[in-house]
Each structure stands twice: as structure tokens, then as C-alpha cells.
Amino acid sequence: MEISGHVALVTGAASGIGAAVARQLAAAGARVVVADVQDDKGRALADEVGGSFAHVDVTDTSQIVEAVDQAASLGELRIAVNSAGIGPAARTVGRDGTYESAHDLELYKKVIAINLIGTFDMVRIAGTAMSRLDPLASGERGAIVNLASVAAFDGQIGQAAYSSSKGGIVGMTLPVARDLAAIGVRVNTVAPGLIDTPIYGEGEQAEGFKARLGESVLFPKRLGVPDELASMVLECVRNSYMNAAVVRVDGGIRMPPK
């Protein structure tokens, strides 16, 4: 599917992988709606790429609807990328054997609400908007790409909530793609490995930590960069035969228990 001339909505777009996706989509000719809870960073990126900003907390359906309507008002919304997410770590059972030290259930629910339910909510609302468009010559009306993680397959100690949420995204890829085939909308999932994003911090200590992490990657022995993930997202949009797929972009890493 051609990217140029269409509108793209990207959640979690103010930083990291989402920002790289927004920049590459804009460079390919899309009008990008940068959707995020980080207003200052989001507006700055929207200005940079010649797009527009939408404040979106993906746990709020009304904000998702407003962002989709905003995107649809700019042209044909044919591309949606779900990159919003959080990844706190906590053990399932605490070390002292008390119920109070067990994994905070509200934290678990929060991770699922943002990463999984927020992704599905955007898929169903953006997909509905796409269903109203005329099909392209290829028969397509749109393409949706969700961001999961290798933690969906190789979850580490402390990643019960995160892995559950990303495993849910992987698990819904095929059934949602089957649902949306009826309206000509493709759905794919990209699962990043260890990616160099602001989550690791800055400075000499952070760089040393990232270098040690990179040694665990099969090849190349380094962390990935957001642009490498973004290019795969764009391929999932461009390639009209990519559908219902989950693609690992991870340098061949298989995560150890910890």
C-alpha cells in the first residue's frame, strides 16, 4: 500500500520507537498525527514532521475517538500504528512470604489496560473509520501495525504483567486480521528485542549497561535502534501481502530468565 498522501495515526509517538515510526512515515509522504500523553514532546515532534498532535491516553476511549476523528478530518486515515506502552517489573510473589508483598494487582491491571486493551481499543476505533473509506486499487482500505515485544515469547523474571500484555497483542493478531479482512484492512505485529530508547537513561553508566546488554544479542552484538524497528513497521504497511504476521526484530536474541 502506498504511504504517500494518506493520514497515519501513531500512538506513543512522542519518543522512542513511536517517534521513529512517525518520522519515517512523514518522510514517506504521510500526514502524521502524533498521539501521546507527553504534550510538549508530542507537539514538538508534530511540528518537526509537519503533522498534528493529539493528546491520547489509550485507556480513555473518548480520547481515542477524538484522535481518530482528528486524523480522519485531515484526509484518508489508512494507517494506524500502536506503540504506546509501559513496562514496569515486579515479582509475582514477594521474598517475605506476605500477601502484601505479592505483585500489586492494580499495577498488573494498569499494564494490561495500557498495553493490551489500549491497543485493541485503537484497533477497533481506527478500523471502523477505515471501513468507511473507498477501497484502493488493491482492494485495501488500510493497514494497522501493533508493537509487541520479544517478552511475549521470552518473558523474564519480573515481566509477568508486561509479557501478558504483549502476549495478548501477539495472540489477537490473527483473529483481528481475520475480522478486518472483511473490510480490507490488514493487521500485523512487530515484536522488538532490546532497543536503544530513553528507558535506559543517559551518560557513561547507561552506555556501559547497554553495551553489556548488547553482548547477549546473537548478531549484531548491540542494541537495536528505533529506526530499525520503524523500517519494519513501514514494510508491514507497504507490503500488501503482509497480513496476520508477527515479526521479531531482535538480532536473534532469545531472552534468558533474568
Euclidean distance between CA atoms 55 and 64, whole angstroms: 9
Contact 194, 139 (CB under 8 A): no
Contact 138, 240 (CB under 8 A): yes
Catalytic-labelled residue, pool 99, 108, 162, 200: 162
CB-facing half-sphere around the CA of 193: CA atoms within 13 A? 24
162 as an active site residue: the answer is yes
CB-facing half-sphere around the CA of 82: CA atoms within 13 A? 36
Nearest to 78 by CA among 16, 32, 20: 32
Taking every pair of C-alpha atoms in the chain, what is the biggest distance, in angstroms? 62
Beta bridge partners of 34: 10, 53
| Polymer length of the chain | 258
Residues annotated as catalytic are 162
